[in-house]
Amino acid sequence: MNELEALKAELKQKEGLIRNLESKLENAETDRATVQSQFAYSLAAMGAYFWVDNLRDGTALYSSPHFFNRLGYEDSEIPTLLDDYVAMVHPEDSPRVMDAFARYCNGELEKYEVEFRFRVKDGSWISTHNLGRITKRIGDEVVEVSGITIDISYIKSIERALEKSNSDLKLANEQLLQLATTDRLTGVSNRAKLDEAFEHELSRARRQNSCFAIALLDVDFFKKINDTYGHQIGDDVLVELAQRLQSNSRRTDIVGRWGGEEFLIICADTKDGILTFGENIRSIIAEQPFASVGTVTVSMGVTSYQDLDTNDTMIKRADQALYEAKEAGRNRVISR
């Protein structure tokens, strides 16, 4: 074989290699397209789509059609220009989305991740979570960005349902607490709430060397009211009395039903003024006729915190003062 024939043989061999490489490349492109299509279909089944955008010419190089089909769009309606995609973003979200995208491309943000609402064919909106990354640069210019857009409407609906459930649960707990600490008839604090408030004021007085006072009062001749007008009217008297006590006490005072026709008022940061407070309450009750029975009076015993006091010792003094007020003719206040 001469030199010319050897060269021809070598060229023929290289032509075969080139055709083989071209075939492999064609197969690779086909495989790539197949993989990309399968990937896009899988994402669409999960409510997401894969996209590739060319920023240099403002076109969408690829957008998963399956996702748009789920939203009601025909293949021919899938945008090919980036501006058309932007137009499908909710107007309230668009400025925030564009700002995040620009800052990511400028290197101000480490990643592009943003949520926005995306328009459905029927004009409604879905919530989406978007992730993107730069896939091609030429110098400092960002040429290509790809990413995934995920439909999170179902997640958002679950979040809203959970928020409502938590809100309803909080409201229910508040209502239960209200029921647990409120006297059902009169609407003021019940015995349990009074005991809790009493312990709180005792603890505060011991820690901070502060003072507080209590007023224990009883409706005069309440049995006679029940016997004359009936228990329903008697209940009405207690309700009206509770309202007067509440409206004529400070916001920091705790007004509650101690039991039966007895009421207790716990007055924070009060000492010598408790007698004046009691007299004011007594006169308001006596001078303003009750709607159902006319004039009603109360007797009251008041006392202030003293060193080493407990709730028992304070209640005992107030109860003794209340007894003395009744023995002295009722409709009066005694301090001990």
Residue 301 buriedness (CB in 10 A; 0-12 / 13-18 / 19+): buried
E strand map for the chain: 48-54, 59-63, 112-119, 125-138, 141-151, 212-219, 254-259, 262-268, 298-304, 333-335
* Phi, psi dihedrals of residue 263, rounded to the nearest 5°: -130, 150
Question: By the 8 A CB rule, do 266 and 226 touch?
Answer: no
Of 261, 262, 279, 324, which one is the catalytic site residue?
261
Distance CA 137, CA 182 (A): 70
Helix (H, G, I), strand (E, B) or coil at 303: strand
Has 261 been annotated as catalytic?
Answer: yes
The single-letter DSSP state of residue 152 is -
Residue 115 buriedness (CB in 10 A; 0-12 / 13-18 / 19+): middle
Closest by alpha carbon to 321, among 310, 312, 332, 311?
A: 332
Question: By the 8 A CB rule, do 103 and 112 touch?
Answer: no
Q: Give the residue numbers annotated as catalytic, written as ranges.
A: 261
